[in-house]
Structure 1
Amino acid sequence: MTMVSAKEFAHWLRQRFGEDEQGVSLTRKDINHLTGRQKFNQEFINDIHFELMRHGMAFVTDTGREKFFLVPVSDRPWRAQLEAQYERELYCNNVLPFDFDRSG
C-alpha cells in the first residue's frame, strides 16, 4: 500500500463523509491503516484539517491524540442560535457578559 498525502486523505474523507451531519470518529490505528502510514505527526493532522475546513468540515483530535473527529462546521452565529431557542426578551435579560477581571 502506498502512503497517501494529507490532501489525498482529506479528499477521501470528504467524499465519504461530507454529507454526514453528525460527523465520524477515527482512531490512530484507523488513520494508519487508511493512509498506509506507520506513523504520523500533528502536522499531518493540521494539513488534513486545513484541506477540510475549506469545505466546512473540521478534523480535530482529543488531548491524547489517539482519537480523531471529522465534524461539520457551523457558520451560524451564537446569538442567532440563542434567539432561535428562547424568546428574545428572555435572552436579552438573562445573558450577561463574562466578567474576566479576577483582581477583586
Structure 2
Amino acid sequence: MGGYFQGDPKQQLLGWEGAWATSYGNLGWDAAFSHASDIGTDYAFRLRYEYLQSGLKNSSQRTLRLALEHQGDRFTTLDELTARKKFGWDLSANYSQR
C-alpha cells in the first residue's frame, strides 16, 4: 500500500494504491484525484482481481483477471494539457492458460 503525489503550480495529481493477497486471489486498487487550474478537480479509480492457479496440481497455469475502472470527465494526468474523455467506465475480463 502506498501513496503518490506529482505536481507543479498549475496541475497536481494525488493518489493511493495497494494490493491484498488472499488464498482466493489478489485484489488491487488505485484511486487518484487530479486538479488542473484551467480544468478543475476530478477523480479516477481502478479495482482489480486476479486469480492464478499454480503449482503441481495445475500445470496449465490458469489465470483469471477482472478489472473495473472509472475516470471522471475532468480527470487529467500530468502529461495531458486538456481533459480528454477517454471513457467513463471500463470493465474488462481476461482468462488465460498455457
- TM-score over 0.5 (shorter chain): no
Could you tell me the TM-score, scaled by structure 1's length? Answer: 0.22
Going by fraction, where is strand more abundant, 1 or 2? 2
Could you tell me the TM-score, scaled by structure 2's length? Answer: 0.23
Going by fraction, where is helix more abundant, 1 or 2? 1
Report the structure number with the largest CA radius of gyration: 1
